[in-house]
Amino acid sequence: MDKILIIGACGQLGTELTLKLRELKGTENVIASDLLDEPVELLSGGPYEKLNILNKESFQIILEEHNITQVYHLAAVLSAKGEQNPHFAWQLNMDSLLTVLEAGKDKLQKIYWPSSIAVFGPDTPKENTPQNTIMSPNTVYGISKLAGERWCEYYHEKYGVDVRSLRYPGLIGYKALPGGGTTDYAVDIFHKAIAGEKYDCFLSENSMLPMMYMDDAVKATIELMETAPENVKVRSSYNLSAMSFSPKEIAEEIKKHYPNFEITYHPDFRQKIADSWPGSIDDSAARNNWGWQHSHGLTELVEVMIENLKETIVFD
């Protein structure tokens, strides 16, 4: 029986991945962990451990106490926050990954670690960005994710560690808020529109970025982790894609539901980050190697987000 530890379980992706894994594997077999004293409400129905993954001893104790066989290591400082605290972002993103990879040598059967389209940079081909191409990230987050991909492939080839990874686009869900990313506008915009408020976007209207509905990201993650090892032909990290849109395009789609919704654009420091990333991604390797298929495009995304958020947000 798999015993899974999720590090960073209370984050935007972690919350949803924990819920889905508990549904599939049994609540008691999925231990959530994060820096908080108590888990977020949505995760309060299952086992939780307070964990600072930079504390190696605490991590080892949890592995032993729960007989953990798999780790999903999601804790990281994202792109925008990383630029405000570069050295800490590098320390957390890198030291924690190496701690988990070391455990993969003799204690863990499988490891999942998320990468990002942030590994690409200004010199990368912008459209239909290939799996293997020029990678010149110019954010600490992107640099740490590129270095992390190299470490993952190194530990697999040198020590046989079964570590698997996906280069996520911007992730959009309604169960948990994002924290410190450049694509967070694509979640914020729904909360404003549904509350009847104007949204002031921190990116310019034509900033085209790869995006994905959270359920698709969770599905891809679990499918990658569950597929047979021989199907995992990329041990750095797989490109993953569903759709691309600009702030103007998602605003237009939202206006089909909220005709009076207004958006303004005041780009801030995150515009330079967004400009360094691709506009669209070629994920044919994931589709060919382990059968990846996305299910939500922009129309379906807007419908499902509004359907679920309007129950919880009061319209002014």
Cα angle 110-115-116, degrees, rounded to a multiple of 5: 155
Residue pair 104/153 in contact (Cβ under 8 Å)? The answer is: no
The distance of closest approach from Cβ of residue 59 to ligand VAH in the complex, given in angstroms and rounded to an integer, is 24
The Cα 283–Cα 293 span in angstroms is: 10
* Structure-derived torsion over alpha carbons of residues 171, 241, 258, 306, reported in degrees to the nearest 10: -50
User: 210: part of which helix (H) or strand (E)?
Assistant: strand 209-213
Counting contacts by CB under 6 A, is residue 117 touching ligand VAH?
A: yes
Where does this chain touch ligand VAH (CB under 6 A) — which range of 174-182, 193-201, 223-231, 232-240?
A: 174-182
In the region spanning residues 65 to 104, those forming contacts with ligand VAH, defined by CB under 6 A, are: 78-79
Nearest residue (CB) to ligand VAH, 140 versus 161: 140
Q: Count residues binding ligand VAH (CB under 6 A).
A: 13
Residues 138-157 that bind ligand VAH (CB under 6 A): 141
Site string for ligand VAH, 197-236 (x = CB under 6 A): ----------------------------------------
88 vs 258, which CB is nearer to ligand VAH?
A: 88
Those residues whose C-beta lies under 8 Å from the C-beta of residue 12, and which sit 6 or more positions away, are: 171, 173, 176, 177, 178, 179, 187, 214
Lookup: tokens for 138: 């110019």
- 181 near ligand VAH, judged by CB under 6 A: yes
Q: Is 141 a catalytic residue?
A: yes
Rounded to the nearest whole angstrom, what is the least distance from the CB of residue 288 to ligand VAH in the complex? 23
Strands (E) located in 67-127? 70-73, 110-112, 115-116
Cα–Cα distance for residue pair 294/100, rounded to 1 Å: 29
User: For binding to ligand VAH (CB under 6 A), which residues are involved?
Assistant: 78-79, 116-118, 141, 168-170, 178, 181-183
Catalytic residues, by residue number, are 141
